[in-house]
Structure 1
Amino acid sequence: MGNGETRVRGLAARAGGWSARHRWAAVGIWVLFVVLAMGLGSAAGRVDVKNSEQMKGETHTAARIIEDAGIDEPSSETVLIQAKDAGLKATDAEFRAAVTAVVEAVEGTGQVTDVVTPYETETISKDGRSALVQFDMRGEAETAGERVEPVLNAVEKVQKEHGSLRIEQIGGASMMKTFDDAFGDDFQKAEYSAVPVALGILLIAFGALVAALLPVLLAITAIMATMGLMGVVSHVVPMTDAANSVMLLVGMAVGVDYCLFYLRREREEREAGRDPRTALRIAAATSGRAIVVSGITVCVAMAGMLFTGIAEFEAMGLASLMVVAVAMVGSVTVLPALLSLLGERVEKGRLPFLRRRRNGGSGESRFWTAVLRGVLAKPVLSVVVAAGALLAVAAPALGMKTQNLTLDQEFGDSLPIVQTYNRVNEAFPGGSEPAEVVVKADDINAPEVKAALADFRERAISSGASRGPVEIKLHDAQNIAFVYVPLVGGSDQDTAGASLEKLRDEVRPATLGEVDGVEAPITGQVAGNKDFNDQLVGSVVPVFAFVVVFAFLLMLLSFRSLTIAVTSIVLNLLSVGAAYGILVAVFQHGWGASLVGAEGVGAIITWLPLFLFVILFGLSMDYHVFVVSRIREARLRGRTTKDAIQHGVVTTAGVVTSAAVIMVAVFAIFGTLSMQSMKQMGVGLAAAVLIDATIIRGVLLPAVMALLGERNWYLPTWLNRLPDLTHDESSEAVAAASGQGETQPLRV
């Protein structure tokens, strides 16, 4: 290596240089890494989050007691028998005959156990028109959905024989099967369609099949390697299916983006007349460095999820962090090797109907050149208009209401089982989602314990928390009792939550709480939602603080500018705020909801704001780092700040637009899914990325930087002691190091 080459510093530049010189070794190491990661993951197997690890609070305590006792709670099912005619009552002979027919039908399948009639459990509605037959599915609850079909068919047959009655089944197993049949393929379709969508957009962007395939292949191999690593890591931090889906989403987005940044810069330099070797070295020293800075920033943002204390979020954060790290490493190591191996063949498979655009090798966008001319001519007006528009879009977020969506909010009323759920809740408030008190005692049959259980049952109803019936199931061998309390409020979460608080704060202390040695955590759907919300709300401040502070420090160290660090945080928060505003407007207020095939459900699902903040803050940094790196590079080459802004934005506009279109398209796929929560996530992500790549990066960022002028590069003297992580070189400096020029880089 010549003496000049040693001047090109930085991890990305060195990695790219080594990779280009040892291309077969670099490709071989990458392939070996992917194969080893997948092999180790397959051998280790994936450990999933246990119920007892899902959350903190009483829900966690109850799950731990059940788990430690070795009790496998079965999947419970209910058959609603309801008279269509107000004159027909549950005590009439015809109604009783239907109850008997249902009991015989479900028992005849051999799939159920512990069948009880409404006459035994007193599960008859106040108006006498509705009653419940209850039973448990045999076998494990997790797989009950696979065995419930014969039972559903048996109940349906009884319905056909009793036209004057409504006979419908609902429960964990039947809902699992119904939703799997209706929506089970949704995620798979979304995940599979992301690849062809990304490939199609890249084909348009590059106009050549080989160039378009490279980013997609690298993203896929990064995802495959991460899947393997997730299996290994899950033995320390258990994983979930949701973490896998989010990892695929993030992996495809950043994997393609990073390669796109690198590949476009390499092509641009070759079009400008550089030889392939120099073009690669320039791409490594410039775009490669931007990828490393961006990747580390995204990883830091994803790490914020580890501070939630919620196992699902911790798994999603770690999985996302890993796929970003793997994609980043692959982009700055194996991609230069592949480009070196392919050379001009990267242009193979050129599509005849896509004319390759050349602008003298500048790579400048005519559209953004025109936009930038106006922005830089009137930066104050541009800031006022753009910031004002975004603040107006963000304004609805001030009234954001979050809650866990009910079944009809999540899926609408298109599925019959959702209507059954509503009918059960109307006739038996809270009956479909009762609170479950897990009572653990030294001796569950001790007189004082039995008296406390009886007292709890009586007070649960007299306090107004439940209308009954309160059911108690004893597990003598384990000294545990399960108490099922239908909550007043049913599917009305606010009322049901108030009923839960009565049980926890008033009824329990006065009854079970009076007996020494008794544990009685209250769990169930409503309790789980409350504990989840409490945990989430408590983690908002530490997560926000961690992500913002560390992103700020990374920007400060990477650009050696206090101004750039501050503006990057402010602009990112503005794009996140705008995304929140759109979510609230569409899904809470229902403005334009029909345009995205959604309904205004009156609330945003609880977990989404924090999840979106972490994901968007990370992904927004992608574009910010890439654009600002190009501006700073132009400034290092001696351009004025205004010229550097113009050059930096217009030369990156094409690649940022392509990257954003891919992200928007991939995220928008999730907006087409049937579940409202997935629609909210898809629309929120797609809208935020679109705003970020256009208004923020194309208008606000250049306008703000133009107003700041030389103050963009301000670093207080007392901060000069900070580590210098700039390690960048202008393209001229790299070319000079390769013997193609003599321009020296300007240190700012």
Structure 2
Amino acid sequence: MAHHLYRLGTFAFRRRRYVLVGWLLALGLTLGGSMLWSGTPTNGLEVPGTEAQQAIDTLHREFPQSDAGGASAQVVVATGEGRTLADPAAASAVTALVTRLGTAPQVAGVTELDERSTSADGRTGIIEVTFTARGDDLTPAAQEGLTAALDGARAAGLTAEAGGNAIDGQPALGNAEIIGVAVAALVLLLTFGSLVAAGLPLLTALLGVIIGFSSIALASAVVDMPSAVSTLALMLGLAVGIDYALFITSRYRSELARCHEPQEAAGRAVATAGSAVVFAGLTVIIALAGLMVVNVPFLTVMGLGSAGVVAIAVLIALTLLPALFGFAGHRIISKRVWRKPATRTLGHRWVSLVLRRPLIAVVAGVAVLGIAAIPALDLRLGLPDDGTAAADSSPRKAYDLIADGFGPGYNGQLTVVVQGPDVSTVRTTVAAVPGVTAVSPPRTSDSGTVSIFQVIPATGPTDPATTGTVEAIRTATSALPGGDVSVTGITAVNIDASQKISDSLLPYLALIVGLAFLLLLVVFRSVLVPVKATLGFLLTIGATFGVMVAVFQWGWLNGLLGVPATGPIVSMMPIFIIGIAFGLAMDYEVFLVTRMREEYVAGADPRAAIVEGFAGSARVVSAAAVIMISIFSGFMLSPDLQIKMPGLGLATAVLVDAFLVRMTIVPAVLALLGRRAWWLPSWLDRALPDLDVEGSRLQVPSPTGPEPAPAVELVR
């Protein structure tokens, strides 16, 4: 493998103009194509095989204009103290609001206020607005018409806010990506001490992100593409794109320091660091593509779309980067960063400290991570609603107004779909279930075969008690003879989706860990190193979930981190964090341990191999981790909880895994294992393909003669 990558690197270096033109052409084609052909991102949630989804499919068929089937908005109006909506001035303002809403673009219908839609104190009312299109297909004019109607009601003295799936809820990134890139640029400059060397990883990463974004936009023309795919692609594309280029650039500079000519150095950098990039990228791709096992369409699309962006980052690092080395030449190294190799680096000092007491390092590291993981025992899953929106947003204000005026359960109404049994019997049965405060009159479809009615629980949508209420309703109605009764609505969909994703966590984890174990077995030609790598990841993920529960469920540091409200962890976050964090954890494992194995294969004893391999890669791995943490932390500045949550989770995972697991526990465990760390049964050694990831058999003629011993060390 190293030989093939060496040839690829030298080819890209020699034919750099053709390679550069090829990637610029790919950029132009994807960017231009996305401007001509692209679809509208979707925000819908479909969970095949669940009771709630099957009921929604029935509603789409039997009640095409029902709330469950189309875009809707809940417009909430309220008066101040001492006034009610029945007062002449308030009633006139409400009438004008209903009229404006009815004439807004794409509006199919608007309800009037009545006794059911007005709170008991008469001060809060809910106006239901339905649209002729899905929320994803509403035009800007429709959004503007809704906003104008609200502004008119406010000018008349009412409090007016709106929530629902018709409200524009595209994730807001704010300045997250700008801050992440700025910090990455600073870290690269401090690491390399050269503007040229710092600029190459940024340039290639941004190119990869743009091509990935454009490809996703093109794919959205034929596939329903969740809006969150772009956010995830940006987050991952920047992080892995910079990191992969950073590792290869660092190795290229090291090869130049060994007095190799630039072309030879580029080939060797791609052959060695490039091999690690290939396998690191494969682990991330496996983890993301493995989301297909959950069998939730939007998770599958998000996983495959993000895996495609990672694949682009790997290809750019292996081809475009060595081509750019050809343009940069020796300018990638500033003269001020050359010096004699007599000093011990910080990496030398740290790993020597760890190896002095390896057992203590392992025990202390595991203890810290175990304590951090304790809150994860209280992990609850759910999906975000308007109650977790930013406190100053209209949907959050509407949510709070409804909860104050009608009770928390009004925000989490359930829909009971009845096919067959007498609907009055079903209503009576449901009304008697503990936790149900009210049921609405039934509606029957035009075919006369399906009836529906609304159920208002006593607790809010994300309250664990509401899950118990849904389960109790399903249990009570399952005993009724002669037909089919199902519970749906956004609250029930969220409960079913969370349960399905939760049930998929262990099979998904087993799949990606199993595939990655086989991959690492081939890379390291060792049984114990892959086992150690995966066990270390379990420590990382436990601590990560512990931090997320403490912040988002328990409310620790909420004010500092700008978390608008506590609640369950978004149901798809754990499986995403597991997939992405596992891939990134294996990145650091591959980059660190392959350098140690290089030294071991070259003849060093196990302890010396750990020290020299660690010292040779610790600086660049630390820089890569800081860049990842900076990019992910930047997304925590977003007001959107669905962006803030993975930002904190992934930043925590990288911090814990890179510095505590890979750079502390891993060298300590390897030192305790000694030569046994590289043990492989002879029969398995013969069966596995030898890919020569370390480049130990890389024999290529150098234009400068035999390979020289390093005369200088490249440090800063």
- Find the partner of 1:122 among 84, 108, 116: 116
Cα separation, 2, equivalents of 1:674 and 1:76: 21
Query: Secondary structure of the residue that 2:438 maps to in structure 1?
Result: coil
Contact 2:253 2:332 in 1 (8 A): no
Query: CA 1:96–1:538 in 2, change beyond 3 Å: closer, same or farther?
Result: farther
Cα separation, 2, equivalents of 1:587 and 1:139: 36
Cα separation, 1, equivalents of 2:657 and 2:45: 39
Q: Which runs of 5+ in 2 are unaligned?
A: 710-716
Structure 1 position 68, deviation (Å): 5.0
For 1:117-516, what aligned pairs fall within 5 Å after superposition? 117-119=112-114, 121-125=115-119, 127-130=120-123, 132-142=125-135, 143=138, 144-159=142-157, 167-172=159-164, 176=167, 186-231=172-217, 233-234=219-220, 238-347=224-333, 356-360=336-340, 366-405=345-384, 407-411=386-390, 413-415=391-393, 418-429=396-407, 430-438=409-417, 452-464=422-434, 466-468=436-438, 470-473=440-443, 476=446, 482-491=452-461, 493-507=463-477, 510=480, 514-515=482-483
Query: CA 1:476–1:99 in 2, change beyond 3 Å: closer, same or farther?
Result: farther
Query: Secondary structure of the residue that 2:125 maps to in structure 1?
Result: strand
In structure 1, the partner of 2:76 is: 79
In structure 2, the partner of 1:444 is: none
Query: Secondary structure of the residue that 2:225 maps to in structure 1?
Result: coil
**Residues 398-433 of structure 1: CA deviation (Å, up to 9, x unaligned):** 33333334544443x445653442342244243333
In structure 1, the partner of 2:714 is: none
Are residues 1:701 and 2:671 paired? no
Cα separation, 1, equivalents of 2:429 and 2:77: 27
Amino acid at match of 2:76: V
Query: Secondary structure of the residue that 1:616 maps to in structure 2?
Result: helix
**Residues 298-339 of structure 1: CA deviation (Å, up to 9, x unaligned):** 111112212111222212211121111111111112211221
Cα separation, 2, equivalents of 1:133 and 1:623: 53
TM-score between the two structures when normalised by the length of structure 1: 0.84
Cα separation, 2, equivalents of 1:117 and 1:492: 29
Cα separation, 1, equivalents of 2:35 and 2:344: 46
In structure 2, the partner of 1:535 is: 500
- Find the partner of 2:98 among 106, 109, 131: 106
**Residues 19-62 of structure 1: CA deviation (Å, up to 9, x unaligned):** 22332232233333333444555555347568474554133223
In structure 1, the partner of 2:24 is: 31
Query: CA 1:101–1:263 in 2, change beyond 3 Å: closer, same or farther?
Result: closer
Contact 1:500 1:526 in 2 (8 A): no
Amino acid at match of 1:357: V
Cα separation, 2, equivalents of 1:598 and 1:133: 27
Are residues 1:19 and 2:12 paired? yes
Amino acid at match of 1:490: G
Query: CA 1:252–1:488 in 2, change beyond 3 Å: closer, same or farther?
Result: same
Query: CA 1:711–1:23 in 2, change beyond 3 Å: closer, same or farther?
Result: same
- Bigger mean CA deviation after superposition, 304-313 or 75-84: 75-84
Query: Secondary structure of the residue that 2:415 maps to in structure 1?
Result: strand
Are residues 1:574 and 2:552 paired? no
Amino acid at match of 1:371: W
- Bigger mean CA deviation after superposition, 368-377 or 249-258: 368-377
Are residues 1:584 and 2:549 paired? yes
- Bigger mean CA deviation after superposition, 576-585 or 139-148: 139-148
Structure 1 position 133, deviation (Å): 4.5
Are residues 1:60 and 2:46 paired? no
Amino acid at match of 2:301: A
- Find the partner of 1:645 among 605, 610, 616: 610
Amino acid at match of 2:51: E
Structure 1 position 297, deviation (Å): 1.4
Are residues 1:557 and 2:522 paired? yes
Amino acid at match of 2:413: P
Query: Secondary structure of the residue that 2:129 maps to in structure 1?
Result: strand
Cα separation, 2, equivalents of 1:560 and 1:105: 71
Structure 1 position 237, deviation (Å): 5.5
TM-score between the two structures when normalised by the length of structure 2: 0.88
Contact 1:56 1:531 in 2 (8 A): no
Cα separation, 2, equivalents of 1:147 and 1:572: 50
Query: CA 1:592–1:97 in 2, change beyond 3 Å: closer, same or farther?
Result: closer
Amino acid at match of 1:255: G
Amino acid at match of 1:384: V
Cα separation, 2, equivalents of 1:322 and 1:280: 25
Cα separation, 1, equivalents of 2:263 and 2:398: 67
**Residues 477-499 of structure 1: CA deviation (Å, up to 9, x unaligned):** 89765533323323462232233
Query: Secondary structure of the residue that 2:175 maps to in structure 1?
Result: helix
- Bigger mean CA deviation after superposition, 684-693 or 260-269: 684-693
**Residues 249-270 of structure 1: CA deviation (Å, up to 9, x unaligned):** 1111111111100011111121
Cα separation, 2, equivalents of 1:359 and 1:698: 26
Structure 1 position 530, deviation (Å): 0.8
Structure 1 position 627, deviation (Å): 0.9
Query: CA 1:239–1:704 in 2, change beyond 3 Å: closer, same or farther?
Result: same
**Residues 177-196 of structure 1: CA deviation (Å, up to 9, x unaligned):** 5x67xxx6x31532344333
Structure 1 position 380, deviation (Å): 2.0
- Bigger mean CA deviation after superposition, 623-632 or 27-36: 27-36
Contact 2:3 2:695 in 1 (8 A): no
Contact 1:107 1:113 in 2 (8 A): no
Are residues 1:741 and 2:691 paired? no
Cα separation, 1, equivalents of 2:173 and 2:269: 36
Query: Secondary structure of the residue that 1:720 maps to in structure 2?
Result: helix
Task: Give the number of the structure with larger relative contact order, counting CA–CA contacts within 8 Å between residues 6 or more apart.
Answer: 2
Cα separation, 2, equivalents of 1:528 and 1:370: 54
Query: CA 1:173–1:49 in 2, change beyond 3 Å: closer, same or farther?
Result: closer
For 1:704-723, what aligned pairs fall within 5 Å after superposition? 704-723=669-688
Q: Which runs of 5+ in 1 are unaligned?
A: 1-7, 161-166, 442-448
Contact 2:388 2:396 in 1 (8 A): no
Query: Secondary structure of the residue that 1:249 maps to in structure 2?
Result: helix
Contact 2:467 2:495 in 1 (8 A): yes
Cα separation, 1, equivalents of 2:285 and 2:54: 32
Contact 2:601 2:696 in 1 (8 A): no
Are residues 1:548 and 2:501 paired? no
Query: CA 1:683–1:21 in 2, change beyond 3 Å: closer, same or farther?
Result: same
Aligned residues: 696
Structure 1 position 361, deviation (Å): 6.3
- Find the partner of 1:685 among 646, 650, 656: 650
Cα separation, 2, equivalents of 1:358 and 1:345: 13
